[in-house]
Amino acid sequence: MTGLLRVEALVKSFDGFQAINRVDLQIQAGILTSIIGPNGAGKTTLINLITGKINPDAGRVYLDNTEITRLPIHERIKKGISRSFQIGDIFPRLTVFQNIQLPVFARLGYAASPLASRERFLEANEEIEEIMHDVGLWDQKSQPAGALSHGDKRLLEIGMAIAPRPRLCFLDEPCAGMNPVEHRQVLDLIIRLAEERNLTFVIVEHDMDVVFSVSDRVVVMNKGEILADGTPDMIREHEGVREIYLGEEVLG
Ligand code: ADP
Ligand code: MG
């Protein structure tokens, strides 16, 4: 296992409220890490800090031992970090194909050069088609994204997240609002993409059965801190984790 990402003593406050309180974390390549924790624990804020949507008050973020703490989002994407687009980020009137085209063109630098050659457009098309096949949206490629079912919109989010060909990809609640069958399908997809694309995923997930069955590692956040970090078995037995999830029978 290789250390891919390292976060050191990260701090972020909003109007005096400390959302992230001296968080240290390492992410290893090739293992599926889940981040769990109650609402407001700081999971999304941590991902926002790592992916560059917001800047920390203190602390550092390293990718491959290179500091990226204050790098703009697009520079981080170039270095191999991406995150899921949220449903709100999808363009509802564009087709599935056109939505995936946006991050693929961005990766290939087409946004800056509209006069790209025919060969390069064909290359982009191939890539877009492969992604649509990979996430299971091929049959819907000409549908406006806004007409997709909730589950299919979430697949499109994943398609857009993998389009920049990241090495490390954060998915913030990729299964939110899905029924159990769709939920399982998305997790199977994530596991398959990780293998086929040599891609490391970090997911935020609420369903404990799912977390414990698919994750290699579980990071538990609470009140802006990392409360526990270990294998599913270790987390299941962790006293502090059991306390915050008390009353939920999920820990068995
Ligand atoms: P989680 O994803 O674990 O549910 P968040 O990271 O979204 O938690 O939020 C952590 C805390 O920080 C919450 O109390 C939330 O209200 C607060 N917070 C997050 N983003 C902002 C923001 N932009 N402005 C003010 N408070 C925020
Ligand atoms: Mg969140």
Each residue of 50-99: pLDDT tens digit?
Answer: 999 999 999 999 999 999 999 999 999 999 999 987 667 899 999 999 99
Residue 222, domain member (yes or no): yes
How many angstroms is it from 245 CA to the middle of ligand 1? 20
CATH code, 11: 3.40.50.300
Average pLDDT, the chain: 91
Per-residue pLDDT, 104: 92
Rounded to two decimals, what is the model's pTM?
Answer: 0.93
Nearest CA-CA partner of 247 in 208, 211, 220: 208
Q: Give the residue numbers spanning the domain of 68.
A: 3-89+165-244
Which atom of ligand 1 is nearest to 54's Cα? 23
Could you tell me the pLDDT band of residue 122, with boundaries at 50, 70 and 90? confident
Q: Is the pLDDT of residue 193 over 90?
A: yes
State pLDDT tens for residues 123-144: 899 999 999 999 999 999 999 9
Instruction: Decide whether any atom of ligand 1 lies within 6 Å of the 91 Cβ.
Output: no
Residue 24, domain member (yes or no): yes
Residue 137, domain member (yes or no): no
Residue 125, domain member (yes or no): no
Per-residue pLDDT, 3: 86
Instruction: Decide whether any atom of ligand 1 lies within 6 Å of the 19 Cβ.
Output: yes
